[in-house]
Structure 1
Amino acid sequence: MNLERILAIQPDLIIISDQDEALYDQLSKIAKTIIVPMSENWQDTIMLARIIQNNRMDGSFCKQNH
C-alpha cells in the first residue's frame, strides 16, 4: 500500500480490511480509518464498505469499527 499516494488524494475516509490492520495507525493519521472484516465473498466486503459510507454520509455512522 502506497501511503504517499493515499496522502496525496486527501481522503476524508479510509476503509481497510482486517488483513491491513497493521497499517491502521499510519492510515488513521491521514484520515478517519475504519476496519472491516474480510469475507470469503468479496461482494459482502464491498457491500459492508458501501453501507458504512452511506451511513457516514447521512450522519448515522458515528463509531469506528476497531
Structure 2
Amino acid sequence: MKTITTTATKVKLRSSPKTGNNVIAELAKGTQIKINNIVFGDGFVWGVQPRSDGKKGYIDIGKSVAWVK
C-alpha cells in the first residue's frame, strides 16, 4: 500500500477509472490517500483506493503514455 498526497486544489475520487463516472468524494489539497494498485483507463493512470465498504475509489494520478499498458 502506498500513500499519496494531493497537490491540486480539488481532486475527484471516482467510482470507476473513467473521467465521466460518479464522483464519490472531492479531496482538498494536502489530503493523503492510500492506494493499493494502479490501473489504466480513459487515457489516464488511476490509483485504486480500497474503501471500508468493500468498494474501490479511483484517483487520476496522470496521463497514460503509449509505451505503458
TM above 0.5: no
What's the TM-score, normalizing by structure 2?
0.22
Q: Hey, which of these two has a bigger chunk of helix by percent?
A: 1
